[in-house]
Amino acid sequence: MADTQQKTRDDGALRIIDSVQDAENSALEAVRKFLDTVDGVFPDVNVEGPRRKIIDAAFRMTEQLVGASNQLARRVVTVTEDALEDYERSGPASKK
C-alpha cells in the first residue's frame, strides 16, 4: 500500500513538473518569436537603441514568467505533500 501511495505521489509530482516545463517552453517560444519580430523591424544601429531596450525587457519578462511558474509549482508540490502527510498520519480508516 505504501508503494502505491509513493508511486501516486511521484506520478502527481511528475505531472506538475511536466506542466510547468511545458508552460516555460511555451513562454520561451513566444519570446523567441517576439525577438524575431523585433529583429525584423528595428535595425541594429547602436548598442543602446530601442531594439536593445525591447530585447532586454523581453528577457526580464521571461525571467519573471519562468520564476512565477517555478514558484507556483513549488507551492503546489509543498501543499500536496503536506496534505498527503496529514492523510497518512490520520490514516484511511478514520476517513470512513
Question: With pLDDT > 90 as the criterion, what percentage of the chain qualifies?
Answer: 0
Weakly modelled stretches of the chain, pLDDT under 50:
none
Predicted confidence at residue 7, as pLDDT, reads 64
Domain extent listing, the chain: 2-91
b/e per residue 41-79 (b: at least 16 CB within 10 A): eeeeeeeeeebeebbeebeeebeebbeebeeebeeebee
Predicted confidence at residue 9, as pLDDT, reads 63
pTM for the whole thing?
Answer: 0.56
Predicted confidence at residue 34, as pLDDT, reads 86
